[in-house]
Amino acid sequence: MKQIDYQKNILLELMNLEEFQQKDFVENKTEQITSSNITSPSKATSINQLEDFLKGELIKLNIDKSIKLVEGDKNSRILFFYGKCDISDTKIIDNKNGELFDKMLSSIKLDRKQISLASYIPRGIGEFENDHKMITTLQLINYRLIELINPKYLIIMSNYCIKMLLAADLSSMSLRGKWFDFNTPNDVVPKKCRVLYEPSLLINNPDLKKDAWEDLKEIKKQLGG
């Protein structure tokens, strides 16, 4: 499925159009299995409800697994959005990538407890990376997650995250170095958004660390540091 098709499906769902309800990847409302009893991510009023909704979708696939969508401070004014976690990660951005990410945060006087941190494909269900139905569901969940956290600043890391959240086949190298507005289909208040190189890219390309430092300093400046 092309990226533009993901966006069309999302907008149709949010507008509650009959055309969307006839798509074969939409959940059957009579079979919905969620403790919060919501029929769509866009109807969630809390992060817990979003997590319950995702759990229900997994149960339909005979997977009994609870997924944590956000790590850190859910009320933070800055949300870092990652792409995909490795199968061995015990937290979002772990191991060597996590060590570098922690150093990046520390360089601007932040730590994981002070930020919201999410990944487009939540940690623990990386096997759905190529599942079009689940990816469409996650797109809706992630848009609603941003709306619920309602950060002032949204920091996007990884080309995958750029592609899915922004619906653009652009790289972090082409987008970094500037602030731009981002808002979900349901959100009328845009977030100040910036692209930051993901740790794995910096590990493999040390020459990019200078640019990353400039971006980090700009983030710190916006936060009042």
**pLDDT tens string 160-191:** 999 898 888 888 988 999 999 999 988 888 99
Asked whether residue 50 carries a pLDDT value surpassing 80, the answer given is yes
Domain residue ranges of the chain, discontinuous segments joined by + = 3-222
Asked whether residue 69 carries a pLDDT value surpassing 50, the answer given is yes
Is the domain spanning 3-222 CATH 3.40.470.10? The answer is yes
Give the model confidence (pLDDT) of 70-100 as tens digits. Answer: 999 999 999 999 999 998 999 999 999 999 9
Residue 75 phi, psi (nearest 5): -100, 10
Match 């069309």 to its residue by tokens.
8
Instruction: Between 27 and 128, name the one with better pLDDT.
Output: 128
Cβ contact 53:41 at 8 Å: yes
Nearest by Cα to 70 from 102, 112, 105, 40: 112
Q: How buried is 82 (Cβ within 10 angstroms: 0-12 exposed, 13-18 middle, 19+ buried)?
A: buried
Match 């009320």 to its residue by tokens.
75
Give the pLDDT score at 72. 97
Give the pLDDT score at 36. 55
Q: Write out the H or E segment, with its range, that includes residue 157.
A: strand 153-157
Cβ contact 120:84 at 8 Å: yes
Cβ contact 118:81 at 8 Å: yes
Cβ contact 223:194 at 8 Å: no
Give the model confidence (pLDDT) of 192-219 as tens digits. Answer: 999 999 999 999 999 999 999 999 999 9
Give the model confidence (pLDDT) of 129-164 as tens digits. Answer: 999 999 999 999 999 999 999 999 999 999 999 989
Asked whether residue 18 carries a pLDDT value surpassing 70, the answer given is no
Give the pLDDT score at 23. 41
Cβ contact 195:180 at 8 Å: no
| Residue 68 DSSP code | -
Give the pLDDT score at 194. 96
Give the pLDDT score at 26. 39
Asked whether residue 35 carries a pLDDT value surpassing 60, the answer given is no
